[in-house]
Amino acid sequence: MELIEALCTTGAVREFTTESVGDAVVARILDRARFAPSGGNRQGWRVVVLKDREVRRRLRDVYVAGWYEYLAQAQAGLTPWAPITDLDAETAARARAAELAASAAEGPGGFAEHFDEVPVLLVVLADLRALAAVDRDLGRYTLAGGASIYPFVWNLLLAARAEGLAGVVTTMVVRYEPEVKALLEVPDDMAVAAVVALGHPVRQPTRLTRAAVAEFTTVDRVGGPVFGA
């Protein structure tokens, strides 16, 4: 697939056929994704490929717990777990999670409820000793360290796209990191960064809709003139 087409059509896909994905395909995806950049080329990522049905089921249980909290906040008009938010409103919204879970249990369920059935589940871990988290001491939410991990995660999606697959990056299970680390026997010096779900898409992705460059780019200052060709 031509690069620009891949960049413009690799979106979040959560509906997959029942067709399996062979280990050889997953190995190629990982082999291509490993060329992602990272601070100092330390490549501080680690991947766990989930195959055991019971492990998958238990991870699904963790996922749905976070999903209903997420959904409750979104329905209240909040950005779930935003670093800057109305905490009282968030707490009130999250109180509805059990209600949403009960309602979902009466239906067929969607991606969250069938998370364990996704053809490929890759848990991406970050070696905290390998991250140049230059914003560590700023006294605010830290995110710079992710620059050494998430390019690799994005490469996984692009490499999967080249194989005719699609998928989504989810950080939902990070909400319950202690449980995930215990389940997967993750050492203390590693953090859970994401889960990448992959499979054969029910519908092939098409060109995505995104904000125009002029909506998020200015010159010299945040409030400066809009940048444009």
Residues 171-217 pLDDT 10s = 999 999 999 999 999 999 999 999 999 999 999 888 889 999 999 99
Enumerate domains of the chain plus CATH numbers: 3-53+116-215 (3.40.109.10)
Nearest to 45 by CA among 156, 170, 160: 156
Q: Which residues of the chain, if any, have pLDDT below 50? A: none
pLDDT of residue 204: 85
pLDDT of residue 160: 96
Strand 120-127 to strand 166-170: parallel, antiparallel, or no bridges (unpaired)?
unpaired
How many C-beta neighbours within 10 Å does residue 26 have?
Answer: 21
Rounded distance between C-alpha atoms, residue 7 and residue 11, angstroms: 9
The whole model's pTM is what?
A: 0.94
Please work out, in degrees rounded to the nearest 5, the angle formed at the alpha carbon of residue 174 by the alpha carbons of 173 and 180: 65
Please work out, in degrees rounded to the nearest 5, the angle formed at the alpha carbon of residue 146 by the alpha carbons of 137 and 167: 155
pLDDT of residue 1: 74
pLDDT of residue 217: 95
pLDDT of residue 177: 97
